[in-house]
Structure 1
Amino acid sequence: MQADLLFVLRCCLAITFLGAAGGKLRNRRGIVAVIEELLPIADRHRAAGVVALGGLVALETALGLGFVIGVRLRLVALAAAASLVLFTWALLRLQKAEWGHGCVCFGVSDTATRIGWVHIARNLVLAGASGAAVMLSGTPLSGTPLAEPLWRPADARLLATALAVGVAAALVYGLVEALWQVSHLRRTEPSAAAARDSG
């Protein structure tokens, strides 16, 4: 049972990190703008922002592939949990600064999708999933590979279950984010209309 749950978590986390890395490559300008907002040195020296972007994409790619391959899985899961805590701190910083775009975590920078509790909750859930993977791996950080690669599941039905869970989680998150966005627009439209009328 534990091995099956770990397999499902690995699938979901691998898709999440690889998808995030690909999204950042598609919207490099958007993520560099976020980095410049968070790091003063990147705001003064654009090259620093580009280097930070490269490092971030490399980190997420390495974590995604680490969950796929399964070598030193506990170390990968620990790094993923720590990264997600750091990303959550960055979201809180952006929210406090009233950042005018989306979180750009997956390459989306729509100005209508402001950072809110739904993005922070998403990161905390992913951090919890990474923490669960740490506990379920329960193997020393050195030695032989800690798990089978994801492309060699012991049971094909397990792979189908993992993919179904991942798709369902993505759909639920997309629905919650859309509802949050609609709620945000309803709250902001009256104030924007009042500002236009007073002007």
Structure 2
Amino acid sequence: MGEFKHKDKNIENKKHVKNKTVAEKIFQETWDWLYSFEVIRKHKPLKINSKQDFLRRSQETGAGIGKKQLRKAFSIHCNSERYLRNAAKGGFRYDIDFNQDEEISEEHQQNFINALKEKKKFISRAKAYARRKEEKQRQYEKRKLENQQDRNKDNGSRLQFKPRKNNNSDIKIAVKKSRRG
């Protein structure tokens, strides 16, 4: 019987490799294709109905980007804080080739400002939750360490002999020590 060479090394290498699902690979390709456009890279406000332009360009170039993938990528991109900040400033919308299209209306600008406020609230709540969770973890670790130190003070003995009466006779029985002492 032959032995496997470097068996442990191969197992360690497999632990560190994360296989992406097909959907993740496809979405990464979509994202890479979208970021090849300057208007997307700079997070500038997009022209209304620009998804159709991107879909058309995808079909022309043979990139093979589908409607669902594009919709998901646009949802993530257009709800990013950087995009909302640029759109809330006002100015012009841009088309796929980074040409100025039309000016952002007051109503749309107000919608972008409101969306940005909501995004910031959500981010601050998420950060506060993370801080609370970290603090609870630190307190838990501190209590755990204190309990461990208390146990070490007892010389590691978890058994304590106490006299107990059993059938009217004095017999010492080993009883598990309670945590409270």
| TM-score past 0.5 threshold | no
Question: Normalization by structure 2: what TM-score?
Answer: 0.34
Q: Which has the larger radius of gyration?
A: 2
Question: Normalization by structure 1: what TM-score?
Answer: 0.32
Pick the structure with more helix per residue. Answer: 1
Higher relative contact order (CA 8 A, sep 6+): 1
Pick the structure with more strand per residue. Answer: 2
